[in-house]
Structures are given as structure tokens and as C-alpha cells.
Chains A and B, each alone.
Chain A
């Protein structure tokens, strides 16, 4: 009897939790189907009385979304690959190699996480502007400005290092005694045992890149290389926001993330329970 009652409480909490997470998504869908007059209703309606499906094609054609999509996928894809390689290798070094200044270097890396974007964006612009190669403004308005500065990601290094440090020392010793070199150790032992952590890194990196806004906005000029978030911002301006169109655009811009999540759901949940992080 007691367990049933406890289950009831748990289920109730879960239901409340699920609703509070799903509500914003529902509201996005609801708003994306409203016309101008219905949007102006106060209090707002819970159901679009006259669904306006034209919001979707209207939003899609207002800015070059197909191009923005392609750019975001290209940029996010390159960054995910780059971050997995760089943070995998550096976390491996920070965890298993002993070298002078290891802790100091790691702490310096970590401290850079505390600097907020607006603080370094102007100096980054100047740096990228003065790099050779690219167009007339150095790397500005070039894919390289969107990808290269983000190929190393401190949080991912931290995450992987914490995971690597959880390996029992006996495992490492056994590998060394059996004559396993560092490269083989990395590929045959560390990586296969870290699938969940690597998935987390991929996912966080992908979502961060997908959501980044100020950086690509400031570092680019051309529509041909701007990403999806810049397209979404088109509907909000100094004098008001086109909520219906913006929400319609939001629906198709988060669709890929949702699809990615459904496919990787198992690994994500596994890795989150492993790392003790909550999404």
C-alpha cells in the first residue's frame, strides 16, 4: 500500500515536471499558428481559433533560411568534430601524462570559462581581422571566423578529464604492464569506455553552436554565411516583434535538434546520469 502511495507522489511530480517542460513548446506551436489580430488578444488564447498556416512559408521566405540552415549545419558539424578531437586529446594528456605545469595549465584553461562573451568579442574581432588569409577583412566574414576559434572548448576538456580520472588506476597499470603504448591505450581502452561522455560533449557543443548569436552576428556581414539564429532575430526589432512569424521560424529551427535528441536519447540520458550533470 505504502509503495503505491509513494509511486503516486512520484508520478504526480513527474507529470507536473513534464507539463512545465512541454508548455513552452506547446506555446511556441500555438503562437506560430496565430494571425496578427489573434496575437493581439489579451489574455492570449490557448488555441488558435483561425490557424494561420501561412506563417510558416512567410517566415521561411522572409530571410534565406535554407542557406542559414546549411551554414549552421556546416559550422556546428565542423566544430563538433574539432572539439571531440582537441578535447579528447587534451583531456587524455591532462589525465594520464605527468608533465611540469600540468595543474597550472589546466586551472588557467578553466579560468577562461569565467570571461563572458561581450568582454572578449571586440578583441577577438581585431585578432581575426588581422589574421592573414581569408577575404579583405582577414578572417572576418569567413567561415573560418565562425569555426576555428571554437575548435577548442574548455568545458568539454573538463568534462572528459573528470571522466578519464574515474578509470581505476589498476586498469591503467594493467595496460602499461602488458606493453600498451599511449596511442593504443587511447584508442583501445579510453575511447571505447567513454562513449557516453563523448556523446555529451558532442551534444553540448552542437547545441551551443546552434544557439550562438552575438558571435556570428558580429563576425559576419554576408547572408551567405550567417547562421540560423541571426535569421530568427530578423523578426525582433527595436519597435516590436513579429511573434507569429518568429515562432514559426523557431519551430523549424529547433526541429533538427529535437530529431538529433530522439536518435541519441539513450546515450544522452546514460551520460547525464554518469556525469552527474543535469541538462
Chain B
């Protein structure tokens, strides 16, 4: 064992010697950790690169996935060496606020380099509401999205439907799916499906909100998705996806490929999905807001950005980047390149975004969903609660292994435990 220890020590010394030497932390570039990969990462790096050359250097570190980003943030905060900036989900923010890792955005807003009241009024209120925890702005809207409906206009025409009039209500949703399903040889296995989806809680969450329900109760101490509204929403989802026989259900992103390949007429996706569909289809693509239920509402998805407590100078520099990135010109270009939502209303008139909306006229209406959007829950246990909802209710029901009411109640009991423990 002594030998082993000695060898390890020698190796460690040799390698540590090769590594870069220590340096003064105050001159280091601002560190920004995020999860943007693929086309989204390239779009972000372009803007970050621009800021680095015109303002101050930013070091952009991509973790590719939110899971890995979450682990890295937890580790770095525990070790006492957080980054300066990071993407952050609503439900992660609560922990970071409680252990005192964050510098509140409200503090920067009030400073001379903050934002005026007029400028603040230019942000979509729903984003600011989502970023407010315990009466203060702790996070700031960064890459936000809404779900929308993508459809194949050529298939609409072939089925005798008006391609400029996508389904607007739940009843029309099922009706359109039925009309767009083609089973020419009558073997019960359609050659063309009306609708396709992946197994995801996102679709249910929106149906729930549209049906007048909510994910958590008002003070966010317990789940509320097993309400009669929730059961009705999941019943509808099961009709559309399973019982009607008009839909394909996939585990991962295969449903997108089936849509691109012309085997499926309609899919739901995030507004960001457009970035991944780009250049891969040969039909006329339609984009529309989700068909409305009793209530015409939408959940906002995507993450915020947070500034970590470091030194006043570094925090101010980090905020300066956030401020620049959310200015109308930048947020418009970011939105046009990725499909994320512009965080400020005045950005809608920016040429980059106007060009994008004239390429895809449905986007204008899809973006307008923001006017009636609701925020994601902020309870820290919700990140886990949502996983339970998807795994214990949505998946078994869509696989025909459980009935909506039973599955939702069982998932609610477990999710409540997760909320209570957190």
C-alpha cells in the first residue's frame, strides 16, 4: 500500500505541475454555465462571442443537458466555487435562494446600471411573475418557450380541410385527427396518422391548465393535478392519443421524424422545435397556437438565468451581460435564431423577428399565446413531482396499463410526499 500511495503521490505531483498555474480571479472572464447544445448552442455562442469582443469577455460552458447542468451547479455551489451566471429552472431557484448562493436581480435593477420602469414594462409580465420568488426578482427570463401546434398543410388540403384554419378547440382537435387519419387498406393500421406525440407531461400540463385546473394548489404545498379537471384532461388526452386510433405515440423524439417524413399530419412541440425541423421537410409547414379548452391558457416553459454571489464587481459584470442579452435587439435575434420567445414586447418589431414571422405566419399567433400564459410552479419539490407525474400517471395511462383517475390519484400521493420532503 505504501508503494501504491507513493506512486499516486508522484503521479499527482507530476500532473499537477503540468496544469495551468493559479491566476488572479478578478481578471478572469465571467463564467456562464448553460445547457444549450446543437443549433441552440451555436446561436448562443454567436451572441456571447459578440458581447465578448464588444464589451467584456464571457466564458461560455455548455453542459448539453439540464440534468448535467443541475449536477454541476449543485457540486460547484457545495464546493464554494459557483460560476458567475447559469441557466436555472424555477424549481431549482428555491434551493439556491435558501442557501444564499444568488445575488437578487432586484438589487441590480435599482442600481444606476439597472432598468427603468418603462423598460421593465416592456418585458412580458408573465416572465417577471415566473422569476419572482418571495416578492423579489431572483432570476431573469432567458430562454423561454411555449408549446404550439405544427401541422402539414398539404395533408390538410388532401383531407378537404382549410390549411389556414387549424383546430381551435378540443373537439376540433379530435375531429381533425380523425379526418387526417387514412387507413386505405382497412387493416386497422393507418398509413397516415392524424396526430403523434411523445410520452410527456408537458402535453397534459397544458390540457390541465386549459381545462381550468392547476398543477399545484394556490400556496404550492400540495399537488392539484388529480382534480376533476385533471382527470377530464387526461381522459381527453387518452382519447386523442390512444382510444381514437388516430395517433402515434413514441417514447422519444421519433414522433418528430414521423411528422417530417410525412406519415403524421399534426404534432405538438415547443416553439424551439422549429429550430430542429428547419430544412428537414418537403411539405408546407403550418404553425398555430394549441387548440383551446374551456380556458384559453398556456404554460410557459424554458429556463431563467441567475447571477451567483461572488464579488460586487463580478456580479455587476454578470448582470451587464444579462441586461445586454435581454435588450430588444439581442432578444429578437436570439428568438429568430432559436424559436425561443423574445422576452420583451418591443422586440416583436425587430427586422430579424419580422422576417422569421413572415416565413412562418403562424408564429405571430403562437407568440401571442404569451398574453394568456401562466407560470410554472416554483416549489422546489416540483422538479421531482413532475417526474413522478410523467412516470406514474401519463406513461402507464398512454400504454393502456392504467385508467386516468386511478393513475393520477396514485401519482398525486407520491408527488405530495416529494413536495413535503423538499
Contact = CB atoms under 8 A, between A and B. Distances in A.
Interface of A: 36-37, 39-42, 78, 82, 85-86, 89-90, 93, 105, 118, 121-122, 125-126, 129-130, 133-140, 142-144, 147-148, 151-152, 214, 217-218, 221-222, 230, 233-242
B20 A142 contact: yes
Nearest to B280: A36
Contacts of A242: 38
Given A217-B63, A234-B64, A239-B272, A151 B71 contact: no
B71 A218 contact: yes
B1 interface: yes
A142 B272 contact: no
Contacts of B81: 129, 136-138, 140
B61 interface: yes
Contacts of A237: 35-38, 40-41, 64-65
Contacts of A36: 260, 279-280
Contacts, number: 159
A125 B64 contact: no
A143 B19 contact: yes
Given A41-B261, A134-B16, A234-B41, A240 B23 contact: no
A214 B68 contact: yes
Contacts of A42: 254, 257-258, 261, 263
Nearest to B42: A62
A197 B205 CA distance: 55
Contacts of B38: 234-237, 239-240, 242
Shortest 10 CB-CB distances between A and B: which pairs?
A: A40-B260, A237-B37, A125-B75, A129-B79, A133-B16, A240-B276, A36-B280, A40-B261, A142-B19, A126-B79
Contacts of B33: 221
13 contacts: A36-B260, A78-B15, A121-B71, A129-B80, A133-B17, A136-B22, A136-B81, A140-B79, A148-B12, A234-B62, A236-B64, A240-B253, A240-B276
B28 to A, nearest CB: 7
Interface in B5-42: 7-8, 11-12, 15-23, 25, 28, 31, 33, 35-38, 40-41
Contacts of A230: 64
B383 interface: no
Interface in B231-257: 253-254, 256-257
Contacts of B263: 42
Interface of B: 1, 3-4, 7-8, 11-12, 15-23, 25, 28, 31, 33, 35-38, 40-41, 59, 61-66, 68, 71-72, 74-76, 78-81, 253-254, 256-258, 260-261, 263, 270, 272-273, 275-276, 279-282
Given A140-B81, A218-B71, A239-B276, A134 B20 contact: yes
Contact of A89 (B7, B68, B281): B7
A270 B232 CA distance: 63
Given A42-B258, A239-B273, A240-B273, A136 B16 contact: no
A41 B260 CA distance: 8
Contacts of B65: 233, 237-238
Given A39-B280, A239-B270, 19 more contacts: A40-B261, A82-B7, A86-B7, A121-B75, A130-B79, A135-B21, A137-B79, A139-B19, A140-B81, A142-B20, A144-B18, A218-B72, A221-B31, A221-B59, A234-B38, A237-B36, A237-B41, A238-B65, A241-B253
A218 B75 contact: yes
B261 A134 contact: no
Contacts of A135: 19-23
Nearest to A237: B37
Contacts of B282: 37
Contacts of B28: 136
A214 B31 CA distance: 20
A259 to B, nearest CB: 27
Given A39-B280, A144-B16, A152 B8 contact: yes
Contacts of B23: 135-136
A26 to B, nearest CB: 20
Given A235-B38, A239-B273, A144 B78 contact: no
Contacts of A221: 31, 33, 59, 61
Given A121-B75, A137-B81, A148 B37 contact: no
Nearest to B21: A135
A122 B64 contact: no
A77 to B, nearest CB: 13
A249 B87 CA distance: 28
A139 B13 CA distance: 12
B368 to A, nearest CB: 22
Given A122-B71, A218-B75, A221-B31, A239 B40 contact: yes
B4 A148 contact: no
Given A41-B261, A125-B75, A236 B19 contact: no
A140 B80 CA distance: 12
A138 B21 CA distance: 10
Nearest to B72: A218
Contacts of B74: 122
A134 B20 CA distance: 6
A151 B261 CA distance: 48
Nearest to B74: A122
B75 A151 contact: no
Quick one: which of A240, A241, A242 has the most chain B CB within 10 A?
A240
Contact of A122 (B18, B78, B261): B78
Contacts of B261: 40-42
Contacts of A238: 35, 37, 65-66
Contacts of A89: 3-4, 7
A36 B277 CA distance: 9
A165 B279 CA distance: 62
A126 B78 CA distance: 7
A130 B75 CA distance: 12
